Every structure is written in C-alpha cells, then in structure tokens.
Structure 1
Amino acid sequence: MDEEQTAGYREPCGVCSAVDWGVSDEGRFYCRSCHNVIEEPERWWTQLHPAHPGSPPSAEGTQNQEEPERGRQWVICEAFQFILRNQANALLKLGVRPTFRDEVLCQLWRIYLQKSRQAYTNNPVRTSTFKVRGQDSDSDSAAEMSVISASETDGDTNASSTAGSIAGSSSDWSQYSGSLDAASYLSARLRRCRHGLMTMKKTLALLHLALVWIREPLTLSDLLRLVNEGHVPYVNAYEALPDEMKLEGKDALIFRVESVPSHRAVHKEAQTLILFLQLPAFPPISQQSLLHPALLSLRYLMDANLPDDLHPWVCRLMERAGMADGALHTFNRLSLPVLPLYDVQAAALVIVTMKLVFGLDDHTEWDLSNDAADQDDTGNLFSVRRWFRLVQTALISAQRRREQHVARNTVDPRNFF
C-alpha cells in the first residue's frame, strides 16, 4: 500500500537525497533510508494522480526534467482532479472539516477513476480506443470510505497502468495542443457507450455527496449559493489550472461553463453518480444530525427571521407526516435508493406549517396581521405582514448588492479588441 500511496511523489529526501518514501501509521511520509519524516506532500495528488505517477502536478506547475520548456502531457481527468481539489480547498477555508477532503472526497474520486476505468485498473480506457468526434456526456456514483476493502480498490489497482498509458500513446504532443484526449472525451460514441465521464456539473455533485457523507450542515442550496457568490470556484475554475494544462481547442467545450447549474440538475447528477459508484449505505442521519429536518428547519426559521415558537409546530407536522425517522433521511441503495433533498424537505415543512397556522392564501394571513396589530400595543406579537415587508426589503437590498458586484467584475467585451 505504501508504494501505491507514494507512487506520485519522487522528490529526493532533504536529508539523504534518497527517493524511497513510505507512509507512517499517522499518514505522514517518511524516508525509508534515513527515517526523515516530512509534512504530507499534496497527498490528494500523489495518491490519486492517474496519468503520470512519476511527476505530480502542483500549483506552480509540474517539473519535467526532460523538456521543461514544453510542459508535459496531460489528460482530461487530471484537470478535473485539479479543479476538484481547488473546490475542496475553498470549502475547507470556509470551515468544512478536513476529513471532508482527505478521507471522503479523495476516496470518492479514486473510486470514480476506477469505476470509469480512467485509473487504478489493469484495463484502462485508452485514447486510441475512441476516434469519433462529438459533444458532451454525463453520469456517475461512489463507495464507502472508511470500510472500503483492499480487494475492491487494490485488487485491480495499478498506478502505473492507468491513464498514464493514454499519455504515453501520443508522440506528437506539444505544449499548444491542449489535452491528449479531448476529442475522444467529446465523441458521440464515447457518450453512448460510457456514462461515467466527468463534467463540471459532476464536480458539484461529487462535492455534495462528500458533504452528505460526513453529515456536514452544508446543504446543496448552500453549496450552490457559495458557488454563485464565487467562494467556490466553478465558472472560471479552469483559470487556476497549472501552466502546463493550458486549454486549447476542444478543451474549452469541457471546462468552460457559462452559468451555475440549478439545484434540480446537480441533485440529479448526484443521484446518477451515487448509483454509478454503487455506494453502500451512508452514515445514519439521526435527529441530532444538522441535516435532519428537525434541526435543519430550526436553522431555516432563524435564517428567515421567523419566531422560534413555530419550531414545535414544525416538529409536530414532521411527526404526523412520518418524517421523523432517521432511516428516511439516510441513503441506502436497498431501503432508500433516492438521495434525500434535505434542504427542500426542511423548507417545505416550514412553509406548510406557516400555511396551517397563518393561512397563507393572500387573505387570511393579512387578516390575522391586522388583528395582531389591533391587539398588540407592545409590538411583541408576530405579524406576517410586518415580517413580509422586512424580508422583502432585505431580499431587494441583497439582490442589488449582488448585481453591483457582478457589474464590477464583468469584463467589457470591447477590451478584447
């Protein structure tokens, strides 16, 4: 296993200059020759790098001793791996637990590469297999992190016989030709016979699955909001690719996107991805989990500036609807084969509760607000009318700020000429 995890790290030891790395029980790299221990060197890449086990890429660019001025050969899954890592790092900076990237997302990506036969397999897909040109593709799924058996991922895992064979199959590559496999990646034939190819939309789906796995209180709506606000790279994620991964020609059709996908689209991708990777049952979502509607609805009440007194009624409605059982919110391919819509369910409970209590038919809620105003001399009674006006004003202000931010960051097309 040490050879597999350190296959992509070929830097000499700073003490004895040997290139013979192992992994300690704590997960840190050490030199087998002099036992020098170093900080874990970009494990995301060294463990998963599919195309070139001998030269892991970095933010500064991959070192290529033979032809440093020409960069190096690269394939599509490498660029997606780099983008996915940047997205994960952005979430870590926003407060997501480190286990999200190092123990969950990293493993999901490794399993995806194996299932799609792009890496970690003795029978990798080769560029020469596909010659037809075409358009885009979609579909995927994932597997258990902490209890994955060695036979499932290591039995046919060989970091040397992965997508690296793709790179080795092209002798006329130059630094201006882009990726090696863009044409085959976009081919109509490949779309018909292979449903596991990565897309930009799938990167968000993979992030969502990893967040759900660790029961992080970051819903799909939260993730898309962070993407829309630019906190998580997506639309311009390709701009952060290393110098040796400059997009040329067909690469742009794969990595350049014009807008953030909808909630429905990303959830559909996550559902497809989860089945493609054949994930086992997710960790249970109990009533103490922040993804359970009992606690998630409380968060939404606070976010919407609604009274806390509504929460017991939301919980009563949840119990009457039979939604309190944690098993109904824990993905399981056998008992619950559909990935739950955690945010949608919690928001729906709040809305239905408000409809039952306040009417919400454009008449009853205003009549109740008038009655509350007549009977309330202190201003402590909740008024739907007053709440609506406050929330509407806040939403309009937020929308204006967002439009101003977009306008400030919009590039004038005339500057291109």
Structure 2
Amino acid sequence: MDDEYTSGFKEPCAQCCAVDWGLTDEGRFYCRSCHNVIERTKEVEDSNFNPGSSRVSTISSKKRKLKQERGRQWMVCEGFQFILMDQADALVKLGVSKHFKDEVLHQLWMLYLHRSQQAYTNTPIRSCTAVRTEPPSFHISSHVLFKLGSLRTAHSPLTPPPVSDNSDASLYASSVDGSTYRNQRGGTSHLMTMKKTLVLLHLGLVWARQGLTLSDLLRLVNEGHVPYVNTFQAFPEEMKLSGSDSVIFKVLKVPPYEQVHKETENLIGFLQLPAFPPISRQSLLHPASLCLRYLMEVNLPDDLYPWVCELMKFAQLDDVLQNRYDPFLHRKFPHYDVQAVAIIIVTMKFIFGLNDHVEWESSTRASQSPHSGENRYVVM
C-alpha cells in the first residue's frame, strides 16, 4: 500500500543513497534500507473536507495535533544509530576527518546490523517484521574500506507493527522491541550497548588512521566533548522514551580503558573484520609519532627521541605491518597508546638506569627543594 504514495518520490536517502521509501504510521517517509526518517509526508485528499464548515476543520486540526504528540514507534537500534551519529558529529567538529563518519563508521554500523540480524538480513531477530521478497540490492561502492561480501539479501526494514489508535500504546509511543531487547540482553553479548558505541568509534578511528587513541577518546568522553552520559535526552521529539527504554540507554559513568579494549576485541571477532589498513610511519598512530607526541606532552628532553626510535627499530615495532590488526597474524588488537608509553619508559630505564628506586629518590629530593611548588619533571 505504501508504494502508491512513495512511487513518485525518487530522491536518494541522505544516509545510504538508496531509493526505497516506505511510510510510518504517521505518514512520514522512511528509508527501508537504513531506516532514516525524513520530513516528507504523504499527501492525502480529505473527502470529508467542507470549505463552509469550520467544525470539520477544527476536528481535523485537533486530530493531527494529537497524532504528533503521540510520537511514533521506533526500534532500539534506531536510538543507538542516533547516538552513534551524534558522537561522530562531535568528533568531526573536533577535527576528525569526515571520511571517518561518512564512510568508515557508517559501513561498520551497517555491518553490525547485518551480523546481529537486525537489518540487511533474511532472518531478522524480530518475528513481527515481515521479510520482503524483492528487495533492492544492497550495494557498496568499490572505494569503501571493506566489503560486506556479496550481500544481496532481503532487507528487513525496521517498520513497527501497526497499532490501533485506540490502544494505550499509541498514546505514548516507545520502542517496539524494547522488552525483547532487554530479555535477550543478558543471554548474548552481541546486542548493542552504550559501551559498544565507544567501541565502534574506536574501531572507526583506527581504521581511518586518525590521531585519536582509545585513551584520547575516553578522555574526550569524560570531559563531555563527545556525548555519552544521558545522550537519550537529545532524542528527537517523535522518539518518545518510556521508563523501561531508558534502562537500555542510560549510563552513569564512562567505562574504563580495559573494558572498552576487551569489548573491542570481542566485537572485531563478531563482525569478522579483515586486516586493518597498514599504519605507516607518517600516520599519527605509528609508535614513532605517538612517542614524539608523549615526549612533548610530559616535557621530556628532545634528546630522548633518537634513542626511542633506536629501541623501536631493535624491537621491530617500527614495522608497518607490525602495528596493524590482522586476524591471521595478530589475534590481539594493539594498544597503540600503551605501547608508545612503554617504549618511552623502557628507553629511560636503559639510559638513566631507572629501577623504581631512583625515581622515588629523585622525586623525594625534588619535593624537598626550595622550588618544590613548581610544576616540573625530574629524571635524575
């Protein structure tokens, strides 16, 4: 039935460039491929309209107003998609390349929806959603960073089941699959969580070889530059959030480094990602670049840097392929920031003979000196 209203609209979706439109219960157009809802609505001719009757016009106006106040039904992954794009926009404003959001992160999100059978699949985890028999092909252009294989399966649009206008659910619309999501959440680790939004951001940043490590990302989140806590409060007005739904999206604190890194390795295995692009010496994620950055941040002598590079060469850590994730060569995802700091510490131990006693003695002498109130670093 939707096709008679949407067949004349040939504009591609701004999110995925697909031309496959459907209608929500409120008559708004949504993309069946990525579930993006746009402002366009269907045009309906009211046969009961009477130009001479103000009573008919008044009743219709109130009905439309009530319909808007009810909001619309939505899927949980729509909420996470809104949060993820909001976080990506914040990173782009901070200087991250748009290539990270428009191509890398978007592709990771679509791949996750496919692997978790929430979209782009013939066997959706929601039994209430009908599978279309003749979907448009799911095509990714050749310049993207990785492929979803020969994925030309039926799309499972996130279309909520019809709800009667007289039902209580329509008075205060919430997520359609919230209860199912909460029930399955404890039995599997593959459903989306707020922590996984940080994991997807981290994976996207590394794939795009941006100069933000995991510790940088968590610091930006802690400082409020990247939204994370109470992000659901910024949901669109049409996506009304009930108390039970808020449990899914509400977090009280930012997860620690090791938890996010462990979740990153788990998600990589679930998504079955191929080898990441090589980390060249010009990349800001290369150990040489990170070591130089950390040496400057802690105000250590510049003369340390050549020795740091020598140690990296001796340990073969300057190899381009050594610093990228490859599921066939390295099962562990690299700790880029931790590795760089470790190289600096080992170099200082070699040069200055640090053994965890000299450092404390130097710190004690510095604290007892007349200039102990100054912010300075003492090596020996």
TM over 0.5: yes
Q: Are 1:120 and 1:157, in contact at CA under 8 Å, matched by a contact in 2? A: yes
Cα deviation digits, residues 129-153 of structure 1 (max 9, x gap) = 9xxxxxxxxxxxxxx9825457533
- Answering whether residue 353 of structure 2 is matched by residue 390 of structure 1, we say no
State the match for 1:15 in structure 2: none
State whether residues 282 and 330 of structure 1, in contact with CA within 8 Å, keep that contact through their aligned partners in structure 2.
Answer: yes
Q: Distance in 1 between matches of 2:345 and 2:20?
A: 44
Q: Does 1:101 align with 2:96?
A: no
Q: 1:176: Cα distance to partner?
A: 2.2
SS of equivalent residue, structure 1 residue 390? coil
Q: SS at the partner of 2:170?
A: coil
Larger Rg: 2
Residue 103 of structure 1, CA deviation: 0.7
**What is the CA-CA distance between 1:318 and the residue it aligns to?**
1.6
In the superposition, relative to structure 1, how do residues 366 and 287 fare at CA in structure 2: closer, same or farther (>3 Å)? same
Q: 2:170 aligns with which of 163, 170, 174?
A: 174
TM-score calculated relative to the size of structure 1: 0.69
Please, which runs of 5 or more residues in structure 1 have no aligned partner?
Answer: 1-6, 13-17, 23-40, 130-143, 374-384, 393-417
Q: Does 1:43 align with 2:15?
A: yes
Within a 5 Å distance, the mapping from 1:354-393 to structure 2 comes to 354-361=348-355, 363-365=357-359, 390-391=375-376
* Aligned counterpart for 2:144 among listed residues 134, 143, 146: 146
Q: Matches of 2:230 and 2:376 in 1, distance apart?
A: 32
**Which residue of 260, 263, 274 corresponds with 2:257?**
263
1:391/1:109 CA distance change after superposition, 3 Å: farther
CA apart distance, 1:219? 0.5
Residues 195 and 54 of structure 1, relative CA distance in 2, 3 Å threshold: farther
Q: 2:126 aligns to what? A: 126
- Distance in 2 separating the partners of 1:391 and 1:45: 54
- Structure 1: distance between partners of 2:297 and 2:118: 43
1:368, distance to aligned residue in structure 2 (A): 7.7
Partner of 1:71: 71
Query: Greater shift after overlay, 79-88 or 178-187?
Result: 178-187
Change (3 A) 1:128 1:168: closer
Give the whole-Å Cα distance in 2 for the aligned partners of 1:388 and 1:208.
Answer: 38
Q: Matches of 1:75 and 1:105 in 2, distance apart?
A: 20
Q: In the alignment, which residue of structure 1 is the partner of 2:55?
A: none
Secondary structure in structure 2 of the residue aligned to 1:54:
strand
- Contact 1:77 1:198 (C-alpha < 8 Å) held by counterparts: yes
The corresponding residue for 1:329 is 323
Which residue in 2 is equivalent to 1:21?
A: 11
Contact kept? 2:280, 2:320, Cα under 8 Å: yes
Query: CA separation of 1:257/1:369 partners in 2, compared to 1, >3 Å: closer, same or farther?
Result: closer
Q: How many residues align?
A: 328
Q: Map residues 281-320 of structure 1 onto 2, 5 A cutoff.
A: 281-320=275-314
Find 1:54's aligned residue among 8, 13, 29: 29
Contact 1:64 1:72 in 2 (8 A): no
Q: 1:354 to 1:145 in 2, by over 3 A?
A: farther
Query: In structure 2, what is the equivalent of residue 231 of structure 1?
Result: 225
* Alpha-carbon contact 1:62-1:71 (below 8 Å) kept: no
Letter in 1 for 2:144: S
CA-to-aligned-CA distance 1:24-43 (integer Å, 9 cap, x gap):
xxxxxxxxxxxxxxxxx742
Residues 312 and 48 of structure 1: CA distance in aligned 2, closer, same or farther (over 3 Å): farther
Secondary structure of the residue that 1:258 maps to in structure 2?
A: coil
Percent identity between the aligned chains?
49
The one-letter code matched in structure 1 to 2:176 is L
Structure 1 residues 183 and 386: CA distance shift in structure 2, 3 A: farther
Deviation digits for residues 321-358 of structure 1, max 9, x if unmatched? 23222222111111112210100100111112122223
Query: Quick one: structure 1 residues 362 and 276, their matched pair in 2 at CA, closer, same or farther if it must change by over 3 Å?
Result: closer
Instruction: Check the 8 A contact 1:100/1:211 in 2, yes or no.
Output: yes
State the Cα deviation string for residues 42-90 of structure 1 (Å, max 9, x = none). Answer: 426979999969336889x967667333221101000000000000000
Are the counterparts in 2 of residues 103 and 145 from structure 1 also a CA contact under 8 Å?
Answer: no
Q: Is contact 1:113–1:120 with CA below 8 Å preserved after alignment? A: yes
Deviations 1:206-242 (A, max 9, x none): 0000000010011111111110110000012111111
With over 3 angstroms needed to count, the CA separation of the structure-2 counterparts of 1:225 and 1:104, relative to structure 1, is: same
Residue 336 to residue 389, structure 1, CA distance change in 2 (3 Å)? farther
Does residue 185 (structure 1) correspond to residue 181 (structure 2)? The answer is: yes
Q: Check 1:300–1:390 CA distance in 2 against 1; reply closer, same or farther (3 A cut).
A: same
Report deviation, 1:118: 0.6
More helix by share: 1
SS in 2 for 1:212: helix
CA shift in 2, pair 1:312/1:114, >3 Å: same
Q: What is the alpha-carbon distance in structure 2 between the residues aligned to residue 356 and residue 324 of structure 1?
A: 19
Q: 1:114 and 2:114 equivalent?
A: yes
> How does 1:201-280 map onto structure 2 within 5 Å?
201-280=195-274
Structure 1 CA distance for aligned equivalents of residues 86 and 20 of structure 2: 15
